[in-house]
Amino acid sequence: MKLNRRAFSSCLAGSGLATLGVGAAAQQAGWPVEGVNYVRLAQPLPPSGQGKVDVVDFFWYECPHCNAFEPALDAWARKLPADVNFRRVPVWFREEPFTAQQKLYYALESLGLVDTMHRKVFAAIHNDRTKLRTSEEIQTFMAKNGVDATKFMAAYNSFAVQTKSRQARQIAEGYKIDAVPALGVHGRYFINGTMAGGNDKMLQVADALIAQVRRG
């Protein structure tokens, strides 16, 4: 789907079914096609996988397509082999609400709460219509879900979380992110639902690109 920087709140273009015919045909041929199902970055980025294949999930908590994609993505990520490093990067297009939600994610990560709280954040926003756009709203939500609010806010406001948020913006800029959900592979390739032929197809393309990185 398309998440335009000037119209981010509408999460435009669905899951990319307009290109399903071309993308699906390419994949049925046995391998995703560069420029059709994925893009090779003109300027590769240094991977952060510590010798592993680096896979990056770009997401935004308020994007309904990211919410719908998360269960399949999470199941896929949990089955990745040991030589793949999977990480999530919350996107930033402007100050509100992206800054607060970036810090929300990285605070969860720093406290080891991603497994228990990440999906709950999506559910709160999309199922319960909870607003999580300010530090006060986020603190209240955490307290209601059994998280030590004082400890969480200390992490939320920490230098480490602020640093990770700045780095996230640099990574997204390097991958030229303008749509979510999206996947980056090893600083070389970029995939979104439009190119892959649907968000579920992104994981198939990612599998192929991971294998391609392994082959060098």
pLDDT at 30: 61
Tell me how far CA of residue 165 lies from CA of 43, 51, 117, 202, 216, in angstroms.
22, 23, 18, 25, 31
Query: In 74-197, which ranges are E strands?
Result: 84-90, 182-185, 189-192
pLDDT at 20: 42
Q: Where in the chain is the domain with CATH 3.40.30.10?
A: 45-174
Query: Which architecture does CATH list for 45-174?
Result: 3-Layer(aba) Sandwich (3.40)
Is residue 8 over pLDDT 60?
A: no
Instruction: Say what the pLDDT of residue 67 is.
Output: 97
Over the chain, what is the mean pLDDT?
A: 88
Higher pLDDT, 78 or 28: 78
Question: Which residue in the block uniquely carries the two structure tokens 């335009």?
Answer: 4
pLDDT digits (tens, 9 = 90+) for 76-119: 999 999 999 999 999 999 999 999 999 999 999 999 999 999 99
For the stretch 164-192, pLDDT in tens is 999 999 999 999 998 899 999 999 999 99
Position 51 scores a pLDDT of 87
Helix (H) or strand (E) holding 39: strand 39-40
pLDDT(32) > 70: yes
Please report the pLDDT score of residue 150 as a whole number. 96
Instruction: Annotate 143-169 with DSSP letters as a single string.
Output: HHTT--HHHHHHHHTSHHHHHHHHHHH
